[in-house]
Amino acid sequence: MTSVASEPPVRWSAKQWALLAVLCLALLLDGLDVTLVGVALPEIGADLGMDTAQLQWIVNGYLLGYGALLLLGGRTADLLGRRKVFLVSLAVFAIASLIGGLVDDGLLIIITRFIKGVAAAFTVPTGLSIITTTFPEGKQRNKAVALYTAFGASGFSSGLVIGGLMTSLSWRWTFLFSVPIALGALIVGIFLIPRDRPNARGRYDFLGAFTMTAGLLLLVYTVVNAPEVGWGAPRTLLSFVGVVVLLGAFVAVERTVNSPLVPLSVFRRGALRGR
């Protein structure tokens, strides 16, 4: 009998490990921020005089920026370059975290949370794109993507635990906690993330970007606000109508422009449609 030779284990250089660590840390922070601040909401409300509805927008603000701009973030990395978009977004995330931990105004906290969500919407797809273009196709890339997604999932699950620990010190540490980690990842990333050139051709699809972003912003806003005003309320129903109109306009734009933000032909592929 002939024995089947086992495949050699995946071996990465120290630079590859360090690069992957930077990308994973960024994704970990993005996941953490979804749940990290939740434990601190009562303390924030008591300290700043915010009611329950206002406190909820500290969470919703992040989800609004993240959910509405995630698709646009990946396209922007193609147009401007992955390295530039990732580093700038990570810097914005760190600055917004610092400001959020220092201010004493509830509205400013909500704004910084929205900005952090926007920054995360750019770092997540850009980080994945850096992995797919840096690690060779096959076992190396599969393992890198698996580690990347595992860090993201662990961020969501550990946010409550870390948030509780930070809140025991001060609610401000739920914001400031991310600052040194993001800055460390930023500094290391400057040296490790490979330089690249924008690989998207053609003009930027401004109308498509506007209709898609506005539609997704309105969708996320409607979903997170519906439990408070009621799913059957006229305001909620009109918002959903607006979502349909905006996303319908986005599809119409993408079918006519020469350089669409999202080529609709991709949805005709069997792998996406299913069998």
pLDDT digits (tens, 9 = 90+) for 202-251: 566 778 888 888 888 898 889 888 888 889 899 999 999 999 999 999 99
- Look at residue 193 and tell me if it is in a domain: yes
250 and 120 within one domain:
no
Is a pLDDT exceeding 50 seen at residue 168? yes
Give the pLDDT of residue 70.
83
Is a pLDDT exceeding 80 seen at residue 198? no
Q: Among 165, 200, 235, which residue terminates a domain?
A: 200
- Look at residue 113 and tell me if it is in a domain: yes
CA distance 101 to 182: 14
Give the pLDDT of residue 260.
77
129 and 53 within one domain:
yes
Lowest mean pLDDT, pick from 83-87, 175-179, 257-261, 265-269? 265-269
139 and 51 within one domain:
yes
- Look at residue 81 and tell me if it is in a domain: yes
Mean residue pLDDT across the chain:
86
Read off the pLDDT band of 102 (50, 70, 90).
very high
241 and 207 within one domain:
yes
CB 178 within 8 A of CB 56: no
Residue with tokens 């909620």: 236
129 and 40 within one domain:
yes
- Look at residue 243 and tell me if it is in a domain: yes
Q: Among 170, 200, 230, which residue terminates a domain?
A: 200
192 and 130 within one domain:
yes
Lowest mean pLDDT, pick from 13-17, 147-151, 168-172? 13-17
Lowest mean pLDDT, pick from 117-121, 161-165, 205-209? 205-209
Q: What percent of the chain has pLDDT above 70?
A: 90
Within 10 angstroms of residue 58's Cβ, the number of other Cβ atoms is 23
Q: For residue range 45-84, list pLDDT tens digits in order.
A: 999 999 888 898 898 889 888 887 887 888 888 888 999 9
- Containing domain of residue 209, as a range? 202-275
Give the pLDDT of residue 137.
87
Q: How many domains does the structure of the chain reveal?
A: 2
Q: For residue range 34-51, list pLDDT tens digits in order.
A: 888 988 999 999 999 998
Within 10 angstroms of residue 14's Cβ, the number of other Cβ atoms is 7
Is a pLDDT exceeding 80 seen at residue 200? no
Lowest mean pLDDT, pick from 79-83, 103-107, 139-143, 197-201? 197-201
Burial class (CB in 10 A: 0-12, 13-18, 19+), 268: exposed
142 and 236 within one domain:
no
Closest CA to 124 of 81, 89, 163: 89
- Look at residue 165 and tell me if it is in a domain: yes
60 and 29 within one domain:
yes
Lowest mean pLDDT, pick from 140-144, 157-161, 263-267? 263-267
CATH at 152 = 1.20.1250.20
140 and 23 within one domain:
yes
Closest CA to 69 of 263, 210, 190: 210
Give the pLDDT of residue 192.
94
pTM, rounded to two decimals: 0.84
- Look at residue 3 and tell me if it is in a domain: no
CB 82 within 8 A of CB 189: no
Give the pLDDT of residue 118.
93
- Look at residue 9 and tell me if it is in a domain: no
77 and 52 within one domain:
yes
CA distance 18 to 122: 21
